[in-house]
Structure 1
Amino acid sequence: GKTDRLITRFERARAAGTKVVALKPARDGRHAPDRIVSHSGREIPAVSVRSLVEVDDLGRANELVLIDELQFFEPELGATVASLRAAGVEILAVGLDRDFRREEFETTASLARAASRVVPLTGICSRCGNEAVLTQRLIDGVPAPLEAPRLLVGDAGLYEPRCERCWIEERGVEERGAVRAGP
């Protein structure tokens, strides 16, 4: 998935002798603060950052910056990345474009505007096996209410990939976004 692609780029950069740093948001407490770990178990060393000033400082000290879970950074990440790119730093950032409500993450949109290239990746729907473009947040195996807090860091069991059809069916939500009344 997304993080595996980031890890592969890190390994190739290191093998080529490129000065590279991998960054993750400090709020991502799923694994050790000094590691980025993929769902497949691959991992690389990382720096856990709390501010965009840290992103900028670390970026300027390297040739390549890899950013995981970009949606958990401030929306101004796009401006920071644009500044680093103007200084000749290569950037690869991965993350979600929409939240469990299907609403766009401002940070991802901001970064997309600053990017030279955007490569959308999809997953596999955990219900039907089709291409997944959405994320379902679950509480005890049931979709979380759409009114629940937007950001909640979690791993397998809390979030699952969904195709749009399964997301809608599972939530009982019409395509236009209105919630259907129960029986």
Structure 2
Amino acid sequence: MGKEGRLELLVGNMFGGKSTELIRRINRYEVLRKKVTLFKHSFDQRYGTEEVCSHDGLKREAILVNTSQDLERSLPLETEVVGIEEVQFFDSGIVPLCYALSKLGRTVLAAGLLKDFRGELFPFSDGKRNIGDLISMADKIDQFNAYCTYENGQGICGRDAAWIQRFYDSEVAPYDSPTILPGGKEAYAPRCREHFVFYLENRHLRL
């Protein structure tokens, strides 16, 4: 019997700590003397090109790739643990690739957004699949929410935030705006159920 592989997903909201936990797990496997390779999609260049960086300052060197095929070609044969940052930016080929790597005995740690700014499961770049297809084949799923930053006269809400709201000039972004749009706290804000503006028939409506 060969080595048993597994797929672990770290999904959730922006500012929820996914990257921090991915780096922590990668570092732990390295302490256990496992051969580790960390990848990130080239679209994610918020903190420089060849590093995975968390919002709280942790950093880890990573290989920059554009597609699931690039990742497969760039993977050293001796790798035992594969880390993937911002998995939602990849094409749908990332789903069968993660499955194949785990079947071959490798541990795959993939971190990414669960929902887009519309509150829908995040689609992969070619639109053929979404993050739910990866969730369905995972051995372990951890969800990382942020805290709601909605402010009222009594201060910041602070409740568990499973949604991310996008804004244009302080207004909620239209439903038909691009799914992927670079930005940080100036464009996105974590929201709880009460304060997220849900979309209905391409218009925003608080439900």
TM-score range, shorter chain: 0.7 to 0.9
Q: Match for residue 97 of structure 1?
A: 114
Q: 1:140 aligns with which of 151, 156, 169?
A: 169
Following the alignment from structure 2 to structure 1, what is the Cα–Cα distance between the partners of residues 134 and 39?
15
Contact 1:26 1:48 in 2 (8 A): yes
Q: Match for residue 12 of structure 1?
A: 28
Runs of 5+ unmatched residues, structure 2: 1-16, 124-129, 151-156
The RMSD of aligned alpha carbons is: 2.2
TM-score (norm 2): 0.78
Contact 2:36 2:83 in 1 (8 A): yes
Contact 1:60 1:84 in 2 (8 A): no
- Once the two structures are TM-superposed, the CA of residue 40 in structure 1 deviates from its matched residue by 0.5
Higher relative contact order (CA 8 A, sep 6+): 2
- Return 41-50 or 137-146, whichever deviates more: 137-146
- Once the two structures are TM-superposed, the CA of residue 143 in structure 1 deviates from its matched residue by 2.0
**Residues 17-166 of structure 1 correspond to what in structure 2 (within 5 A)?**
17-57=33-73, 58=75, 60-106=77-123, 107-127=130-150, 128-166=157-195
Q: Summarize deviations over 1:5-54 as a string: whole Å, max 9, x none.
A: 00101211222221111111111121211101101111110111112122
SS of the aligned residue for 2:140 comes to coil
Runs of 5+ unmatched residues, structure 1: none
Q: Summarize deviations over 1:79-116 as a string: whole Å, max 9, x none.
A: 10000001111011111111001111233112112211
Q: Match for residue 8 of structure 2?
A: none
User: Identity over the aligned pairs, expressed in percent?
Assistant: 30
SS of the aligned residue for 2:88 comes to helix
Q: Summarize deviations over 1:101-141 as a string: whole Å, max 9, x none.
A: 11112331121122112222211111111000001112233
